[in-house]
Structure 1
Amino acid sequence: MTTYKLPLPKDFEGKYKNKNTHLITLTNRAGMQIALTDFGARLVSALVPDRNGDLIDVVLGFDSIQGYLNAKEHYHGATIGRFCNRIANGKFSIDGNEYSLPQNNGSNCLHGGNEGFHNKVWDRQVSFNKLVDFYYVSPDGEEGFPGELKTTVSYELTNFNEIIIKFRATSNAPTVVNFTNHAYFNLNGEGNGDVLNHEVTILSNEFLPLNEDQIPTGEIFLVEGTAFDFRQPKTLAEDINSQEEQIKIAQGYDHSYVNNQPISEPIATAYSKESGIELQVFTTEPGIHLYTGNFLSDDVGKSGKKYLRFGGLCFEAQHFPDSPNQDIFPSVRLNPGEVFESEIKFKFNIRKPGN
């Protein structure tokens, strides 16, 4: 484990007085290496051996804090909260009390607002040279959310080429929570074109259709016979330009799938024939959200290459979007005295040709 201190840009210092940012690297016995930063409690890079044993960085990101600040896409690799994904009209109610949130995505609140968890400098603690804990206390009323929320996000790199992310939170008042990690993966290598040649599998029979504002309609559709059927491996290119209404609404894939898999079984898999790298996703969350980087453009990443549209894919394990306003969805309410806990695991393998 190595920790580097990163200077904050001058215009950042007032906002984060007495805060420093750091880059923390973890390496396992198999040679895989990840880098993390306390700015947004985010995953900066993941160097994974390809089929030839060469290390490839498969996570999109930047080589400085300034890069993250200047990017059009602010969520690269970040911990997302207090509420990931969209809340319709930036409003929800608890026990008859209505709360108003920033509307930073049309009329929606997206990913906790502009000053969400992705835009905070977290406290940190490193344990056993393989585990990093990030801590953040969100004050009552921050971005409109009720209750003081204490959150811990832990990253562990195992010797089995797994990144295990665990979330834990408590609140002193009734509130809503929904966390995820927003890493963009390109298994051909960060900045190496788009991900349309990736073979994707999602072991789900159902997905959530969206309205024109990209808010779930409250219905649950079967994937069978649609562009959203990934129960058998297929490339993203196969249906991403489908004329189906749901693809048109999101300009690609930006949809949640129902997860009924136990944590011991992967809900989603992506594979690059180019590198031989396979990514499996395991989670305790009731949903897995597939986003294909439909609006990536112009940002120049760590390797000096532009991040193209469809230049990365996200597997965002989470509760369903707009859950506070939709009673049929699993509850996202957190009460005083309760503990919210969830887990996401990204596991990397090498798949030999023909397998």
Structure 2
Amino acid sequence: MMIETTEVLGKWKEFTLINDTKMSVSVLNYGGIITKINVPDRDGNIENVALGFKDYRDYEANPPFLGALIGRVAGRIQGSSFELNGESYPLEANDGENHLHGGSKGFHQVIWDVTPFQNDVNVGLTLTHKSADGEGGYPGNVEVKVTYTLNNENQLSLFYEATSDQTTPLTLTNHCYFNLSGDLKTTVQDHHVTIDSQQFVELDEELIPTGAKPQVEGTTFDFRLGRRLGDGFNDEYQQNKIAGNGYDHYFIFDDNKEQQAVVREPNSGRVMSVKTNQPGMVMYTGNSLDDQMQLAEATSQKYLGVCFETQASPASLHHEGFPDVRLNAGEKYEKETVFTFGIE
């Protein structure tokens, strides 16, 4: 096992974690961005399964948030404001009238302090950042630590820790776009996904939760027994159409199964499982990916990747009965998501 470090653009560092089975994960200190995940297919071909830019300068703006750490709050906050303890907090409107992924200066724009580590069983990186009271419009001085760990079982763990001296909304995630075909050979329409969820969060035309949590049964949102992602791309179901003919929705986990989600790609034989102690996740199928972006292996296009953004729900700031994003003063935020890569 080893860690390689390279300078990028004279101002960032890229750390590459490599295990003994030749799986590797590359991460920038800028935005905590995962730039590449190289894993074998059923024939032993090692290929990249994460979307990344060909030109690293494109990470500076990174409108699709490729591979980035997201905070303070992952997802959209309705009306770019929230109330906490009777006080109203206005936020930047960076997605129409709404606030998205912590704003334009969110954690995806931060240069994190990074400490590499390795031992007999894993290699990893500890990323830390102090977010000052009022940063992005949010209350509280927040100390954040995110640990990326790769082991020899081809498991990539993201462990998120945070504390705040004031009660504040906080839910962190990573916005990696996965494509298990390898080196972007095809879109994700034939990816077969299973999700342990019987309820999802309904969206309005601005992709803001309405407050309703429909049952998945009888819809293209029923992934309990598994289905092709492409089932929802051309479906007439209104919730698919609202999201740009795909998925951009929060699924509430039932926690009946050991893994909350499993993804299979039939041609490569690659399988990725998602295990987390988060209460749900947004599954986003790249419905708005710009067809002008130059990615490492191909020009970007709609449906070229799928995100599994494990997190709580920002809808909890405006509606009752949703997984809560509030972190109380002095409380410890501890969440982990493990992506396990295999073949079949």
2:27 is equivalent to residue 36 of structure 1? yes
Structure 2 distance, partners of 1:196, 1:68, is: 26
Matching residue of 2:115:
125
Q: Which of 131, 143, 148 lines up with 1:155 in the alignment? A: 148
Report the Cα distance in structure 1 between the residues aligned to 2:117 and 2:247, rounded to whole angstroms.
37
After TM superposition, the structure 1 = structure 2 runs for residues 191-230 of structure 1, keeping only pairs within 5 Å, are 191-230=184-223
Aligned to 1:253: 247
Aligned to 2:317, the other structure's residue is in SS state helix
Give the superposition deviation at 1:178. 0.8
Percent identity reads 38
> In the alignment, residue 317 of structure 1 is paired with which amino acid?
T
CA distance in 1, matches of 2:81, 2:330: 25
What is the Cα-based RMSD across aligned positions, in Å?
1.4
Q: Does 1:80 align with 2:66?
A: no
The answer (yes or no) to whether the contact 1:191–1:301 under 8 Å persists in 2 is no
Amino acid at match of 1:256: Y
Alignment of 1:62 with 2:53, yes or no, is yes
Report the alpha carbon displacement of residue 72 of structure 1 after superposing the two structures with TM: 4.0
The match for 1:17 is: none
State the secondary structure of the residue aligned to 2:27.
Answer: strand
User: Residue 103 of structure 2 is aligned with which of 113, 127, 143?
Assistant: 113
Structure 2 unaligned blocks of 5 or more = none
Between the aligned partners of 2:327 and 2:202, the Cα distance in structure 1 is 26
Give the CA deviation at 1:321: 3.2
Which amino acid in structure 1 is aligned with residue 236 of structure 2? Q
Matching residue of 2:330: 337
Cα distance change, pair 338–70 in 1 and its aligned pair in 2 (3 A): closer
Task: Name the CA distance, whole Å, in 2 between partners of 1:228 and 1:214.
Answer: 16
Moved over 4 A (4+): none
Taking the aligned partners of 1:247 and 1:63, their CA distance within structure 2 comes to: 30
8 Å CA contact 2:284–2:306 kept in 1: the answer is yes
In the alignment, which residue of structure 2 is the partner of 1:308? 301
Show the counterpart of 1:322.
315
AA at the equivalent of 1:69: E
Offset, 1:329: 1.4
Residues 87 and 109 in structure 1, CA contact (< 8 A), matched pair in contact too: yes
Out of 3, 10, 27, the position equivalent to 2:5 is: 3
The TM-score, its normalising length taken from structure 1, stands at 0.92
The count of residues paired between Structure 1 and Structure 2 equals 337
Q: Secondary structure at the match of 1:204?
A: coil
TM-score calculated relative to the size of structure 2? 0.95
Structure 1 residues 93-116: Cα deviation after superposition (integer angstroms, max 9, x where no partner):
110110011111111100000111
Aligned-residue offset at 1:63 = 4.6
Q: How far, CA to CA, are the matches of 1:342 and 1:280 in structure 2?
A: 17
Q: In the alignment, which of 253, 261, 267 is matched to residue 268 of structure 1? A: 261
Residues 337 and 71 of structure 1, relative CA distance in 2, 3 Å threshold: closer
1:139 and 2:132 correspond: yes
Secondary structure of 1:2's counterpart equals strand
8 A Cα contact 2:269 2:343, kept in partner: yes
CA displacement at 1:79 relative to structure 2 = 0.6
Deviation at 1:148, TM superposition (A): 1.1
Does the Cα contact within 8 Å between 2:314 and 2:325 map onto a contact in 1?
no
Distance 1:260 1:232 in 2: 13
Letter of the 1:170 partner, please give it: T
CA distance in 2, matches of 1:167, 1:190: 28
Q: Structure 1, residues 118-175: CA drift from partner, whole Å, max 9, x if none?
A: 0111111011260101011111111101111110111000111110000000111111
Cα offset, 1:270, TM superposition: 1.1
Partner SS state of residue 195, structure 1: coil
